[in-house]
């Protein structure tokens, strides 16, 4: 079953599960993601694989996984997407949806992704490793994510031979992933820690315990939209449970810091905070042209305002969706037009006005 | 010693190979990151660059001859050389973890603080993996034999390949 451009159009209209903002602690935790890196034992790693190898690897993996799906081994609708055949804008769309990595979009050569249409699961074929399996869940839900991905990994492994040895574990193209091949990440929204200038301190303390912190959609310590992704750096010498626990244990501490920072802002500068949030809402609802950067910045304030009850006529799922739908590829897919930068800024403003007018709270899809 | 790009102390001493000629760089951790990863929005993208950095770092302390000898070593299965690995930070095939095991240990210790796998083991065929990896070499040798018109050799290899593939396919009968 092949994904056509029309299906991507449909996907653009809906929200992936991780955007719904319905999981545990979802005022601060946006999503939990677990990824496993695997390779077939009888092919070279990607950097050394020929075009024939890549085609063969893709064929084997696609066949095995689709057969599993036919046998009803997992629920939901599974779709195969030939990434190498997509237009740049459609690849960008999938990156914005967190369904493929930037690397997978920009690389050359035969490569694909299998996506479950609820967008909880995606399996990249021929990215840096032959297989990169990913499970994405709303809010803080690492336990459930691990169970799901572990099961899928077993199902696939029953049909193929993974590259593995007892000494070094699951063998990967890059030594930074060897062993468990596991990357556990949690995405958090931390606007109060940014405003109160504590975010750098948080960074440093996480780095001391070997956790990586990265701004989403951006670099350095000032992340766009105040989103931060915390993940494990080490993959070898600790079990999957230990690595997941390490990330999972630190999240409540971060949530607590953020909540305390928000309380502080309410106690010490309620008017300033309320003004900040209201101005953000005002601009978003009335601007005629607006950049992606400014949008992320204002949506971050709006989101915090909704969480704190300062803004009552917008719902969190709407705000979450706006973060994604105002990204460049999404905008163009939703309007069905190819737009240059300044036209996008106009279209973005129009989209925001439409979706934040009065009935923003439960407006549903468009 | 100070970082060449800022004022922090230099903790990474890199021998960058430019057209085969060594170029010494002395950088702090942050500048070393930036040097190798100009833009990335995902933690896991920075780390491969670090692997390359550390792989190069391994080479410091070796004499020029030791390094040259080490760099010439190649994997018996896929043919990748240690030099290629050092430059890309990426390995060529699963067998590299056996062929270059001694060299990889200090690198893994640096990255993970550990060198042995703890955790999940494949349920179905953990021990058969290395045999399957030999297929990479056998297929390569068969192609070479055909090119050299050594058809008897190619035929022997093809039989060997078939029996290993049969073992693999028996597992996937469903």
- Quote the pLDDT of residue B23: 66
Contact assignment for B124 to A218 by CB distance below 8 Å = no
Tokens representing B78 are 């896929």
Among A358, A322, A326, CA closest to A345: A326
| Yes or no, beta carbons of A161 and B128 under 8 Å apart | yes
Take residue B45 and report the two structure tokens written for it.
Answer: 């993208």
Q: Which residues of A288-310 are buried (b: 16+ CB within 10 A; e: fewer)?
A: eebbbebbbbbbbbbbbbbbbeb
Question: How big is the CA angle at A40 (ends A34 and A42), to the nearest 5 degrees?
Answer: 165
Question: How many angstroms separate the CA atoms of B75 and B56, rounded?
Answer: 18
pLDDT tens figures, A277-333: 999 999 999 999 999 889 999 999 999 999 999 999 999 889 988 988 998 999 998
- What is the DSSP-derived secondary structure letter of residue A365? -
DSSP 8-state symbol, A340: -
- The two three-digit tokens of residue B170, written as one number: 């028996």
Instruction: Tell me the C-alpha distance between B52 and B91, whole Å.
Output: 10
For residue B96, the SS3 value is helix
Give the count of beta carbons closer than 10 Å to the beta carbon of residue A194: 20
Chain A residues near residue B137 by CB distance under 8 angstroms: none
Q: Which of B92, B120, B129 sits opposite A180 (nearest CB)?
A: B120
| pLDDT digits 0-9 by tens, A224-263 | 889 999 999 999 999 999 999 999 999 999 999 999 999 9
Nearest residue to A41 via CA among A128, A123, A130, A114: A130
Interface contact B133, partner A, CB < 8 A: yes
Q: Shortest CA distance to A149 belongs to which of A272, A283, A243, A83?
A: A243
Residue-wise DSSP of A46-98? GGG--HHHHHHHHHHHHHHHHHHHHTTSS-S-EEEEEGGGS-HHHHHHHHHTT
The partner residue sitting opposite A161, judged by closest CB among B44, B111, B132, is B132
At residue B53, what are phi and psi to the nearest 5 degrees? -60, -45
pLDDT digits (tens, 9 = 90+) for A51-86: 999 999 999 999 998 888 888 777 777 889 999 999
User: Which residues from chain B sit within 8 angstroms of residue A41, using beta carbons?
Assistant: 94, 128-130, 132-133
> What stretches of A57-197 adopt beta strand conformation (E)?
78-82, 112-116, 121-125, 131-138, 164-165, 169-170, 182-189
**How far is the C-alpha of A158 from the C-alpha of A73, rounded, in Å?**
12
Contact status, residue A49 vs residue A43, Cβ threshold 8 Å: yes
Task: Report the pLDDT value the prediction gives residue B164, as an integer from 0 to 100.
Answer: 87
DSSP H or E stretch at residue B99: helix B96-99
* Of A165, A178, A218, Cβ closest to residue B41: A218
Confidence of residue B29 (pLDDT cuts 50, 70, 90): confident
Whether this model's ipTM surpasses 0.90 comes out as no
Record the pTM. 0.83
B117 reaches A (C-beta below 8 A):
yes
> pLDDT (tens digit, 9 = 90+) per residue, A130-166?
999 999 998 999 999 999 999 999 999 988 999 999 9
pLDDT of residue B7: 72
A33-43 mean pLDDT: 96
Structural tokens at position A263: 């309380």
Residue from A166, A42, A54 nearest A111 by CA: A54
Say if residue A28's pLDDT is above 90.
Answer: yes
Structure tokens at A221: 């310590």
| DSSP secondary structure letters along A204-270 | HHHHHTTEEEEETTS-SSS-GGGEEEEEE---SSS-HHHHHHHHHHHHHHHHHHHHHHHHHHHHHHH
């Amino acid at each position: 079953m092949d994904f056509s451009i029309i299906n991507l159009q449909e996907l653009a209209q809906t929200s992936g599960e991780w955007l719904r903002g319905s999981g545990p602690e979802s005022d601060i935790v946006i999503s939990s993601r677990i990824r496993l890196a695997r390779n077939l034992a009888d092919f070279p790693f990607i950097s050394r694989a020929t075009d024939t190898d890549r085609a063969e690897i893709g064929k084997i993996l696609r066949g095995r996984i689709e057969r599993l799906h036919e046998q009803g081994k997992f629920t939901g609708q599974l779709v195969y997407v030939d990434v190498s055949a997509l237009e740049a804008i459609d690849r960008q769309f999938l990156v914005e949806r967190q369904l493929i990595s930037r690397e997978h979009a920009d690389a050359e050569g035969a490569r694909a992704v299998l996506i479950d249409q609820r967008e909880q699961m995606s399996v990249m074929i021929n990215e840096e490793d032959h297989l990169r399996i990913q499970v994405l869940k709303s809010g803080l839900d690492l336990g459930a994510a691990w169970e799901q991905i572990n099961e899928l990994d077993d199902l696939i492994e029953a049909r193929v031979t993974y590259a593995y040895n007892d000494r070094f574990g699951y063998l990967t193209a890059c030594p930074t992933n060897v062993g468990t091949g596991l990357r556990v990440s949690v995405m958090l929204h931390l606007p109060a820690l940014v405003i109160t200038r504590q975010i750098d301190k948080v960074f440093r303390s996480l780095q001391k315990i070997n956790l990586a912190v990265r701004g989403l959609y951006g670099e350095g310590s000032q992340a766009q939209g105040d989103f931060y992704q915390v993940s494990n750096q080490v993959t070898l010498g600790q079990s999957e449970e230990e690595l997941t626990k390490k990330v999972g244990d630190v999240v409540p501490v971060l949530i607590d810091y953020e909540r305390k920072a928000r309380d502080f802002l309410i106690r010490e500068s309620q008017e300033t905070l309320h003004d900040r949030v209201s101005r953000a809402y005002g601009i978003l609802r009335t601007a005629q042209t607006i950049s992606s950067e400014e949008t992320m910045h204002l949506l971050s304030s709006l989101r915090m305002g909704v969480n704190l009850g300062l803004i009552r006529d917008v719902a969190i799922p709407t705000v979450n969706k706006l973060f994604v739908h105002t990204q460049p590829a999404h905008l163009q897919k939703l309007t069905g037009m190819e737009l240059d930068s300044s036209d996008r800024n106009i279209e973005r403003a129009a989209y925001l006005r439409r979706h934040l007018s009065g009935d923003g709270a439960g407006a549903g899809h468009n | 010693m100070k970082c060449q790009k800022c004022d922090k102390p230099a903790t990474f001493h890199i021998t960058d190979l430019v057209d085969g000629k060594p170029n010494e760089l002395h950088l702090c951790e942050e500048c070393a990151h930036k040097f190798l990863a100009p833009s990335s929005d995902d933690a896991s993208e920075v780390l491969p660059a670090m692997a390359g950095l550390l792989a190069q770092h391994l080479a410091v302390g070796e004499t020029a001859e030791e390094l040259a000898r080490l760099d010439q070593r190649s994997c018996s299965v896929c043919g990748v050389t240690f030099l290629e690995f050092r430059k890309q930070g990426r390995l060529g095939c699963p067998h590299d973890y056996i062929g270059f095991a001694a060299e990889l240990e200090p690198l893994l210790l640096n990255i993970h603080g550990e060198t042995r796998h703890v955790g999940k083991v494949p349920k179905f065929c953990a021990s058969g993996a290395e045999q399957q990896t030999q297929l990479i070499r056998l297929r390569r040798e068969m192609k070479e034999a055909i090119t050299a018109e050594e058809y008897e050799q190619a035929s022997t290899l093809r039989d060997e390949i078939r029996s290993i593939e049969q073992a693999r396919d028996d597992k996937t009968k469903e």
